[in-house]
């Protein structure tokens, strides 16, 4: 059987089923959006997923260490049949929404990265496949994951056995991520090899001597020193790394002081480090420590620099990435299946899954605006996502499973 060996009747049945689910998935997405939850504990989101799949033939289980949901759909293969994993992450970000959407989330949390669409799309794929179990030459594992945004939910689910939920370990894994910018609406994109960067958090605390703001010479002001570090870290990137070895340092928080006429004793800032190899990331960490501690020493102060290792590089298996793009082109036309030239500096804990089993991660343009290059990006309080892509996300995920399983018996 060829990678695209799906007879026309099956193809059209899945397509029609996805179209019929459009309204239901939109309603679910908006409910998920309004109850945005952060981290590993997402009890309301978990309950919505369980409720949405209660009338299917998917075997459902809850996580023990987090609010995950694992679903297993048994195909016609019988015991020991091959299995494919499909993943959707469910958590939101600590961002107060400013989109003005009628279904906007309450202050404090927002699905600014589109995980509500991921969840709804995976629910749609599960419903489609449940209705067409007779097409499955094996089993499908549905990985509804919390804690992608810095909490390593994928690692927690792997530790609990999601890769072996069907019995034998899954032989392939697929997932997708929507973008409110970058890609035109409805376009799927991926590439073989590195797709997303490895990441590490960094926390720097500068220790000075507090005092009165009118007499800075009698104190040791940590704010100006920490500010110098922030700008010097950008120079480090441009002057100590080859331009063809992309690395990124971004500082996202800076905290110091209590009022304008007081020099504080400490200043802290947090950031993220990104690279496409662990060697580059290790060198970036080492040079960041050297730079910050020596700048502090030059002003008679000290600095503590600590790191939080986050996610490895997301690496697509070349054969699986090509297969996924072929399936997308067959379903939606070649103009909506794009081989990406470059990887992106975002990071993903789906990288944990792809370290264990071959597979591919794809991007899907969900831009509301006509120009994805000027639209608010993922993680913005203004990020908006087009719900028109939901049936297509469900159809692609379902089709990847249906078409991949027969190849695993070859």
Is residue 1 over pLDDT 60?
no
Residues 180 and 246 grouped into a single domain: no
Q: What is the largest CA-CA distance in the chain?
A: 81
Name which of 255, 284, 283 is nearest 272 in CA terms: 284
d(CA 273, CA 72): 36
Residues 52 and 184 grouped into a single domain: yes
Ramachandran angles phi, psi of 344, nearest 5°:
-120, 160
Residues 115 and 255 grouped into a single domain: no
Q: Residue 49: pLDDT band by 50, 70, 90 thresholds?
A: very high
Residues 175 and 49 grouped into a single domain: yes
Tell me how crowded residue 9 is: count the other CB atoms within 10 A of its CB. Answer: 8
Residues 58 and 163 grouped into a single domain: yes
Q: What is the pLDDT of residues 207-265, one digit of tens each?
A: 999 999 999 999 999 999 999 999 999 999 999 999 999 999 999 999 999 999 999 99
Is 367 a member of any domain? yes
Residues 304 and 321 grouped into a single domain: no
How does 198-231 read in b/e, with b if 16+ C-beta sit within 10 Å? Answer: bbbebebbbebeebeeeeeeebbbbbbbbbbbbe
Residues 226 and 273 grouped into a single domain: yes
Q: What is the pLDDT of residues 265-316, one digit of tens each?
A: 999 999 999 999 999 999 999 999 999 999 999 999 999 999 998 999 999 9
* pLDDT at 12 (0 to 100): 87
Residues 226 and 147 grouped into a single domain: no
Residues 15 and 135 grouped into a single domain: yes
Q: What is the pLDDT of residues 154-182, one digit of tens each?
A: 999 999 999 999 999 999 999 999 999 99
d(CA 151, CA 371): 32
Tell me how crowded residue 30 is: count the other CB atoms within 10 A of its CB. Answer: 17
Name which of 118, 122, 12 is nearest 60 in CA terms: 122
Is 1 a member of any domain? no
The mean pLDDT value for 48-73 works out to 97
Q: Which H or E run contains 391?
A: helix 390-404
Residues 19 and 129 grouped into a single domain: yes
Task: Give the active site residue among 97, 310, 348, 387.
Answer: 387
Is 323 a member of any domain? yes
Residues 331 and 290 grouped into a single domain: no
CATH of the domain at 250: 3.30.70.360
Active site residue 311: yes
SS3 46: helix
Task: Give the active site residue among 97, 311, 348, 361.
Answer: 311
Give how many domains the chain has, as a whole number: 2
Query: What is the span of the domain harbouring residue 208?
Result: 198-309
Is 3 a member of any domain? no
Is 69 a member of any domain? yes
């Amino acid at each position: 059987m060829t990678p695209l060996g799906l007879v026309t009747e099956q193809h059209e049945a899945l397509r029609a089923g996805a179209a019929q689910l459009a309204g239901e998935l939109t309603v679910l997405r908006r409910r998920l959006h309004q109850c945005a939850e952060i981290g590993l504990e997402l009890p309301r989101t978990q309950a919505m997923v369980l409720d949405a799949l209660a009338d299917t033939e998917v075997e459902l289980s809850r996580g023990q260490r987090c609010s995950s949901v694992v679903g297993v759909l048994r195909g016609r293969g019988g015991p020991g049949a091959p299995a494919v994993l499909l993943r959707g992450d469910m958590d939101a970000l600590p961002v107060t929404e400013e989109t003005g959407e009628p279904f906007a989330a309450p202050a404090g949390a927002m699905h600014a990265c589109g995980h509500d669409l991921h969840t709804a799309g995976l629910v749609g794929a599960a419903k489609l496949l449940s209705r067409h179990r007779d097409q499955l030459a094996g089993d499908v594992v549905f990985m509804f994951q919390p804690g992608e945004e810095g909490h390593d939910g994928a690692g927690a689910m792997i530790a609990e056995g999601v890769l072996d939920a069907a019995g034998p370990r899954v032989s392939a894994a697929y997932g997708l991520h929507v973008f409110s910018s970058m890609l035109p609406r409805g376009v799927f994109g991926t590439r073989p090899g590195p797709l997303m960067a490895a990441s590490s958090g960094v926390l720097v605390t500068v220790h000075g001597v507090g005092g009165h703001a009118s007499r800075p010479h009698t104190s040791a002001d940590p704010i100006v020193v920490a500010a110098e570090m922030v700008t010097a870290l950008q120079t480090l990137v441009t002057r100590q790394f080859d331009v063809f070895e992309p690395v990124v340092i971004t500082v996202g928080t800076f905290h110091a002081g209590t009022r304008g006429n007081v020099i504080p004793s400490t200043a802290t800032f947090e950031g993220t480090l990104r690279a496409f190899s662990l060697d580059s990331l290790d060198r970036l960490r080492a040079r960041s420590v050297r730079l910050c501690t020596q700048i502090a020493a030059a002003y008679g102060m000290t600095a503590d620099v600590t790191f939080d290792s986050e996610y490895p590089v997301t690496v697509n298996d070349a054969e699986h990435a090509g297969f996924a793009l072929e399936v997308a082109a067959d379903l939606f036309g070649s103009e909506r299946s794009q081989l990406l030239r470059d990887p992106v500096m975002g990071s993903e804990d789906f990288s944990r899954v792809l370290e264990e089993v071959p597979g591919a991660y794809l991007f899907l343009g969900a831009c509301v605006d006509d120009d994805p290059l000027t639209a608010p990006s993922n993680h913005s309080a203004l990020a908006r996502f087009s719900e028109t892509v939901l049936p297509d996300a469900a159809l692609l995920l379902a089709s990847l499973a249906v078409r991949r399983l027969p190849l695993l018996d070859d």
